[in-house]
Amino acid sequence: MAHIIGGVGTTHVPSIGGAIAKGKQTDEYWRPFFDMFPPVRGWLGRSKPDIAVVIYNDHGLNFFLDKMPTFAVGAAAEYRNADEGWGLPVVRSFAGDPEFSWHLIESLVADEFDIVSCQEMLVDHAFVVPMQLLYPDVDPTGAGAGWPVRVVPISVNTVQHPIPSAARCYKFGKAIGRAIRSYQQDANVLIMGTGGLSHQLEGKRAGFINKDFDRLCLDRLVDDPAALTGYSSEELVELAGSQGVELLNWLVMRGALGEHVSPVSRSYHVPISNTASAVLALAAA
């Protein structure tokens, strides 16, 4: 039987990928951010996940404003990274697990979620940067050992309104958790939720960060995630910024973990590229 070891929520700002590519992890500006991750890596080293289910939002590699699925699940044997125009180097591809992916897809459809099944899928910085943060020893160029986990990308629409509600995303996460636990083959599964926290990149509120709301969200993700489902999409934009709605990815992750979790590591840092950055690692009960 598949076993969910826990979840990680983390920021996916593209400038982090640039800092990694340029070796700036110990620079004065970047060090406080990168110093948040060794405890999480230590936990992963002990827990040894086989599969990472990555909840993120696509930024145009697969879907654009004319075609934006609410939920899309990868079912490929391989996921390639591609040039997004940020100047980030393209990293080595990620191995998928089609049998596991199709089990998730079939279970989610049976659970009455209308998802898009992607037998080909590119992955952008929202997927790649968190993988680089958790597995920094992988040579992104393709030399040496590859990524130590198989992956399943799950894209959530946080871009084109109407976006799914917080309540719907939490229910989606619960359905993902049920699907994983019903998989008959042995596998340790990590759930990742990427993005945010509060930030806004455009308009009169460009640079907006809400520390109080971010800290409230981090608290509730641990002890009362259902409390976050009461916010409407409009309220999330007001409280977290137009891009801060990426919190929905974290909420999907938390829903998959089940009722009770144990905090492993929690860090919060402001700002990284005008974004409130955080990492939260939770062990599933």
H helix or E strand, kind and range, residue 8: strand 2-10
**Of 12, 59, 103, 199, catalytic:** 199
Q: How many CA atoms lie within 13 A of 185 on its CB side?
A: 10
Q: Is there a contact between 32 and 152 (Cβ–Cβ < 8 Å)? A: no
* CA distances in angstroms from 187 to 5, 11, 52, 136, 220, listed in the order given: 10, 26, 10, 23, 28
Among this protein's residues, is 103 annotated catalytic? no
List, in sequence order, every residue forming a beta bridge with 190; answer none if it has no partner: 6, 52
- Is 260 among the residues known to form the active site? no
CB 14 within 8 A of CB 89: no
First to last CA, the chain: 16
Query: Which residue type does 227 have?
Result: A
Distance in angstroms (rounded) separating the CA atoms of residues 103 and 119: 14
- The residue count of the chain comes to 285
Of 208, 222, 216, 221, the closest CA to residue 270 belongs to 208
Query: Any residues with CB less than 8 A from the CB of 61 and at least 6 apart, and which?
Result: 82, 84, 122, 123, 124
Could you tell me the two tokens for 115? 């998802």
Q: How far apart are CA 76 and CA 220, in angstroms?
A: 34
- Of the residues 125, 161, 260, 269, only one is catalytic, namely 125
- CB 132, CB 81: distance < 8 Å: no
Q: Show which residues are catalytic.
A: 125, 199
